[in-house]
Amino acid sequence: MSGFSVTEPSQRQKWIAGLLVITYAMVTLMPLLWIIATGFKSPEDAISYPPKVLFEPSLEGYVNLFSSRTRITTGMQESLQPAETWYEQVARDSGTIIVGPSRYGQRFLNSVVIGFGSTFLAIVFGTMAAYAFSRFKVPIKDDLLFFILSTRMMPPIAVAIPIFLMFRQLGLNDTQLGMILLYTAVNLSLSVWLLKGFIDEIPFEYEEAALIDGYTRFQAFYKVVLPQAATGIASTAIFCLIFAWNEYAFAVLLTSGNAQTAPPFIPTIIGVGGQDWPAVAAGATIFLIPVMIFTILLRKHLLRGITFGAVRK
Amino acid sequence: MAQIIIKNLRKDFGDFTAVKASSFTIEDGEFFMLLGPSGCGKTTTLRMIAGLELPTSGEIFIDGEEVSQKRASQRDIAFVFQMFALYPHMNVRQNISYPLKSQGMPRAQIKAKVAEVAKILGIEDILSKPVGGLSGGDRQRVALGRAIVREPKAFMMDEPLGALDAEFREHMSEELRALHDRMGATTVYVTHDQLEAMQMGDKIVVMNHGSVEQFGVPQQIYDWPASLFVADFIGSPPMNFLHFNGAVGEGDSKVSLSGQVFDIPQQLQAASGDLVFGVRPEHVSLNDASAYKGKVLAIEYLGTTQVITIESANGVLKARVASADMVEVGQQVGLVFNPRTISLFDKSTGAALLSDANKGVLDHG
Ligand SMILES: Nc1ncnc2c1ncn2[C@@H]1O[C@H](COP(=O)(O)OP(=O)(O)OP(=O)(O)O)[C@@H](O)[C@H]1O
Ligand SMILES: [Mg+2]
């Protein structure tokens, strides 16, 4: 090829850009790789210095994460029947026996129920509120919108105590329902604002066409507006889920047993005798998976959603 | 198919009156043009007929039934939007079948109807395409397809050719008119393009500032405008206005302008004060025998004709004359006006004065 193009970057520019992106990705992905790798190390390898890049993979961290164990003496170990399952074997190899499941599974389930539940509600209510704000004459609309946004301006710590007191009166302390309601309320401000932006972009004519074609207002909303807002809904849902999934402050303050989510629980995973870093890392790794899957499933929408408006056909 | 009667229709948006006491009748099967400059209330009127906007007051009769407060879906009307408003998440076939689905029509029947409509519009080969990538003309056809598939009582079209480029507009307007002639459905068509309105319409209503200025067939509106506004809005170049201060009496068939006496149609209405003498450019001719003189300011050559701009004692006017007429800029020329085509207007009200010639046109309006 000869000459140069105005719109196409040159070969060298492409190389430089690629190099920059790879460097940036390495820097940001390093902690993630570290966590994933540590999850598969033995406790000794996890704290060895200098850090081991190549190591013999072990499932000890994962076994420890999901079980509670007790330490036994070598003598006792010899008197036991041979281990029946692979995870019992892993536990025995480190000088312990499994006495029951850990609480991680249940905490994880809490995270799933609370995270997805609150995201679902924030999206359902958010879409309807955003539609109303976008399409109808709402008195003091701007003030209402600002008020909705302002609910998110306070740090959780500032409102945690009143919420704690309220929840205690209502019997919502340390319940899944309480946490779902709380996260829904916090996420609503985000979802109303984001979705209003997306719905504003959808020309009103589509709904009018549907009204003329013999549909009711509500049918026009869910048959014409919703499919076109799908992109916005998907990206909003991801943001809501990420917030609810990672939320730490409220979760620490308002949950303890029943409804505790994974974030406050993970740091409390401490092995029998010493910090069990592989188990903590395993807990963090598994914790990442649902958001990752959700994001990957919706990523096509996400990309379009974030660039929405800029590249409208 | 239906007759549509509009009676004293009015629409206020807050303090602002977008449409003032409009009345007109659209006969069954007519291709009816709503014409006027931007912001005069055409779209608002059309939307009120369709039921997308509720009137502040007044009545709308479709097929004898008063519908002004009914929902759009109950009026059995189709609407073609300026930007077409094709549902972007559906393909062509789904777009066209969508109005039928709402009626709960069986699938097989929908399929047959869509096929029939696609054939009429010549879009059979794009039925399974998404609407996103279609050309302007095809979008237009799909929008029409979605409108006609339901066989509604009437069609409303809001500047349906506005989104197309000039070359294609011409072609589509012919196609549209042919489609109308074939189906004979009552059509209300909004445009701000007076040429389009003249070419396509069976009847025209001219609106200005929310009021109906005149309504009638194109030729009559062109020849006998009811007001200065209509005379100026229609025709290119528009009607010439010669301003004078004088008087005409009932029964007069002459008027005096700057000392010259001109023959005019017999007047049925007396008036005095500031008046306007209106004559279309093609009814002005150059004749040096005439005592009414003007100076040529500019010449615009248009092939078979030329438009000559002339300064007279009563203002600047334009004459459309044969290209063969030899004139030069700066030349003094004598002007003759075809007496049977003259309209007089009262300048203060803007209204045309009734004469023998225009009474047939203006009486019913
Ligand atoms: N929803 C509304 N609220 C307030 N004013 C409105 C509304 N819709 C229209 N108007 C005003 O009413 C007037 C008439 O509007 P309309 O859209 O009917 O004009 P139009 O003749 O269709 O003009 P155009 O040729 O520009 O489409 C305009 O001045 C417009 O600003
Ligand atoms: Mg308009």
pLDDT in tens, A43-80: 888 888 888 888 889 898 899 889 888 888 878 877 88
H-helix or E-strand spanning residue B324: none
Confidence of residue A309 (pLDDT cuts 50, 70, 90): very low
Q: Give A51's DSSP letter.
A: P
Q: To 10 degrees, what angle do helices A277-297 and A226-246 make?
A: 170
pLDDT surpassing 80 at residue B52: yes
Please, which residues have CB within 8 angstroms of residue A64's CB and are 6 or more apart in sequence?
A91, A269, A271, A276, A278, A279, A282
- Within 8 A of A208 by CB-CB distance, chain B residues are 52, 72, 79, 81, 85
Percent of chain B with pLDDT over 70: 99
Q: Give B291's DSSP letter.
A: S
Q: Are strands A96-101 and B65-66 parallel, antiparallel or unpaired?
A: unpaired
Confidence of residue B299 (pLDDT cuts 50, 70, 90): very high
Cα–Cα dist B261/A221, whole Å? 68
Residue B282 distance to chain A (closest CA, Å): 43
Ordered by where they begin, the domains of chain B are: 4-223 (3.40.50.300), 238-362 (2.40.50.140)
**Facing residue for B87 by CB, picked from A206, A211, A219:** A206
What Rg, from alpha-carbon coordinates, does chain B have?
Answer: 24
Confidence of residue A1 (pLDDT cuts 50, 70, 90): very low
The residue that leads in pLDDT, B168 or A306, is B168
Atom of ligand 1 nearest to the CA of B14: 4
pLDDT computed for residue A108 by the predictor: 94
Q: Give B283's DSSP letter.
A: G
Residues B128-182: pLDDT tens digits? 999 988 888 899 899 999 999 988 999 999 998 887 888 888 888 888 898 899 8
Ordered by where they begin, the domains of chain A are: 105-268 (1.10.3720.10)
Confidence of residue A310 (pLDDT cuts 50, 70, 90): very low
The answer to whether residues A91 and A97 touch, using CB atoms and an 8 Å cutoff, is yes
Backbone angles phi, psi at B364, to 5 degrees: -80, -15
Residues A30-44: pLDDT tens digits? 999 999 999 999 888
Please, which residues have CB within 8 angstroms of residue A136's CB and are 6 or more apart in sequence?
none
pLDDT surpassing 80 at residue B204: yes
The residue that leads in pLDDT, A220 or A79, is A220
Cα–Cα dist B74/B68, whole Å? 11
Percent of chain A with pLDDT over 90: 46
Q: How many CB pairs under 8 A join A and B?
A: 54
- Asked if B150 lies within 8 A of A227 by C-beta distance, the reply is no
pLDDT computed for residue A3 by the predictor: 58
Q: Lowest mean pLDDT of A150-164, A237-251, B77-91, name the range.
A: A150-164
Residue of B113, B116, B165 whose CA lies nearest to B139: B165
Residue A205 distance to chain B (closest CA, Å): 6
Cα–Cα dist B148/A271, whole Å? 74
Residue A127 distance to chain B (closest CA, Å): 18
**Facing residue for A211 by CB, picked from B72, B132, B150:** B72
Q: For B217-292, where are the E strands, in sequence order?
A: 240-248, 254-257, 260-263, 271-279, 284-286
pLDDT surpassing 70 at residue A308: no
Cα–Cα dist B365/B362, whole Å? 5
pLDDT surpassing 60 at residue B231: yes
Mean of the per-residue pLDDT values of chain B: 92
**Facing residue for B73 by CB, picked from A211, A227, A313:** A211
Partner residues linked to B11 by β-bridges: B19
- Within 8 A of B160 by CB-CB distance, chain A residues are none
| Residues shown for chain A | 313
Task: Identify the sign of the CA torsion B213, B219, B222, B223.
Answer: negative
pLDDT computed for residue B344 by the predictor: 96
pLDDT surpassing 80 at residue B33: yes
